[in-house]
Structure 1
């Protein structure tokens, strides 16, 4: 039987518990900046879709958001995006990290 060890399948009972883990997965400044840029573009795309009435803009949202984030993880952070195991908390974490970077709580 294998020794008792912490697994990569950590379970979180709340977003408050998850967010420090999320930030730890985003220590690289370039990765965080790519997340910030991707999130800003996603917000812009959603606003454009709503104000123009052209919902086709929404097609670009996942490609833009995940594209920037995954480049940051695979090429700069060198880890797997948390969204693979914690999709909802990760999406929420991205917007909270964006806000924290915007107001200066996290280096950008």
Structure 2
């Protein structure tokens, strides 16, 4: 049964618990870096196909991390909006050293 969250602040600890495996977190980090690169390429080249590549690569790296290393289903399936925000907050937390990369 899905847990209900009243806010992102409530959701984020759950999100982090679903990313306890270091390899999974690293794959999320790499995928997010590639997403940023592809979004930049879309802006520079004015070619929207890069946005499709960004979407595919971001989810591909994350889902490999979940299915093969974390051994759970991505939170995206139950909480798509909070999960998307969680990806970027976790990325920032890894960049700043709050979460071990």
- TM-score over 0.5 for the pair: yes
CA distance in 2, matches of 1:56, 1:69: 20
Candidates 64, 68, 78, aligned match of 1:71: 64
Q: What corresponds to 1:35 in structure 2?
A: 28
Q: Does 1:62 align with 2:55?
A: yes
Superposed CA RMSD in Å reads 0.7
- Gaps spanning 5+ residues in structure 1: where? 1-6
Q: Does 1:96 align with 2:86?
A: no
Alignment size in residue pairs: 101
CA distance in 1, matches of 2:71, 2:8: 24
Deviates more, 1:59-68 or 1:14-23: 59-68
**TM-score, normalised with respect to structure 1:** 0.91
**TM-score, normalised with respect to structure 2:** 0.97
Q: Which has the larger radius of gyration?
A: 1
